[in-house]
Amino acid sequence: MLLLFFGSEIILMKQKTLHNYRTLLSFLALFLLTLACQNSTKKSTATLPEGEKISIRHAKGFSLTSYGDYKIIEVYNPWPEAEKVYRYALVQKGKKLPKEVLVDVTIAVPVERIIVTSTTHIPSLEMLEEEDKIIAFPNLDYISSEKTRTQITNGNIREIGNNQSINTEIVIDLAPDLFVGFGIDGNNKSFHSLEKAGIPIVYNGDWTEISPLGKAEWIKFFGAFFNKETLAENEFSKIETEYLHIKELAQNQTNSPTVLSGAMWKDIWYLPQGNSWAAQFIKDANGSYLWADSNGIGSLSLNIESVLEKAQNASFWIGPGQFDSLQRMQEAHHSYSQFEAFNTGEIYSFSQKKGATGGVIYYELAPNRPDIVLKDLVKILHPELLPEHELFFFTKIK
């Protein structure tokens, strides 16, 4: 499976459409992954007893509370406009959940056999040193991590189709302790079938977060299932500290270079709205995103004339789709050559660096490592601040 953006993965397609998928990837990316939800005011129907709240500083989509023998995770926005709060009980093996505590699913922890469905889940499990617990995944070719690809090569991770049409027979036969899914709208028929078969399914809503640090904080969601809350906090704190340090460096600069983003698809230019994840990165890197004042968390759909009028003299162009050369950009749309960033060569793509089977590394790792994304952007916009840093996700288009 895959999720998208100037960001991450979640478009689901059968193998035979893979070529078209990769062609459309970055344009759809501008739309899908940036469809984050605002912090929900929905409440659970049953009141929970008092417990020890685990610190969640940036993520808005989940909470974690400890009660000693069990923990409760509440997921507020597994997809945009979700109508309920999903409540999961994580009960220590050999213990029981009190009868008065009402939940959607109960899982015995620590889990030993897990199925995840988004490549954005993989880095969290690796940071927790639990990648060997993964037993299946949809569309294995999308996984880029060398560590997890070794598990695939050794036959330890099974292929189960794609997220919208999971091979339920294989999943039922594997009998996982936990199946971590994500939803576009809550109407995944495969998930419903698995639930009826007794497979414990929980929803992960990391892709609905707006804040870069909010997405990364979902490592704490995974840590709870392995009783590794302390490790999850330590790993996240390192990312948080580095991100805020780099942000502070950038904000102390007096100049804010102008930034254009996105590209055209069928004569429509798609680019991030002003409150999106992508726009937040540019802001934190002290760039002046030219559509920062637009309201919304998804993408804008504009004609070339309006983009040229506003961004023809932009200093930098971040995320120009799947293009790997200036020549191919000009062949696709001659209007691209009218932009100053095209003529100065200040165009940077995140889609060129791929894993062994073609998965874009950015889509898998960037939501979990916003500190590296921010370093890259600061290196691009303010190179004097990070003279030793080499671009990790981004490549300069030549």
For 52-226, which CATH class?
alpha beta
Confidence (pLDDT) at 143 = 97
Per-residue pLDDT tens digits for 199-241: 999 999 999 999 999 999 999 999 999 999 999 999 999 999 9
The H or E element that residue 270 is part of is: strand 268-272
Is the model's pLDDT at 24 over the cut of 60?
Answer: no
Strands 70-75 and 62-66: antiparallel
Count the neighbouring beta carbons within 10 Å of the beta carbon of residue 359. Answer: 23
Nearest to 395 by CA among 324, 337, 340: 324
Question: For position 80, what pLDDT does the model report?
Answer: 86
Tell me which residue of 62, 90, 333, 36 sits closest to 209, measured CA to CA. Answer: 36
Q: Do residues 294 and 273 touch, judged by C-beta distance below 8 A? A: yes
Cβ contact 135:172 at 8 Å: no
Tell me the mean pLDDT in the region 344-365: 95
- Give the CA diameter of the chain: 67
Nearest-10 crossing angle of helices 370-381, 229-251: 10
- Over the stretch 160-177, which tens digit does the pLDDT of each residue have? 998 778 999 999 999 999
Euclidean distance between CA atoms 52 and 67, whole angstroms: 7
> 115 falls in which pLDDT band (50, 70, 90)?
very high
Helix (H), strand (E) at residue 179: strand 178-181
Question: Could you tell me the residue ranges of all domains in the chain?
Answer: 15-34+241-396, 52-226
Lowest mean pLDDT among 16-30, 192-206, 287-301: 16-30
Confidence of residue 178 (pLDDT cuts 50, 70, 90): very high
Q: For the whole prediction, is pTM greater than 0.85?
A: yes
The b-or-e profile of 288-324 (16+ CB within 10 A means b, else e) is bbbbbebeebbbbebeeeebeeebeebbbbbbbbbbe
- Which SS3 state, helix, strand or coil, does residue 371 take? helix
Q: Which of 143-147, 174-178, 264-268 is least confident? A: 264-268
**Is residue 157 within 8 Å of 137, Cβ to Cβ?**
yes
Per CATH, 15-34+241-396 and 52-226 having the same topology is answered yes
What is d(CA 119, CA 143) in angstroms, rounded to the nearest whole number? 6
Helices and strands, number each (H, E), in the chain: 14, 20
> What is the distance between the alpha carbons of residues 282 and 317, in angstroms, rounded to a whole number?
11
Report whether pLDDT(182) > 70: yes
- Report the C-alpha gap between 1 and 137 in whole angstroms: 8
Least Cα distance to 184 among 26, 44, 35 occurs for 35
Mean pLDDT of the chain: 89
Classify the C-alpha dihedral 325-329-334-335 as positive or negative. negative
Which pLDDT score, from 0 to 100, does residue 185 have? 82
Structure confidence at residue 256 as a pLDDT band (50, 70, 90): very high
What CATH number has the domain spanning 15-34+241-396?
3.40.50.1980
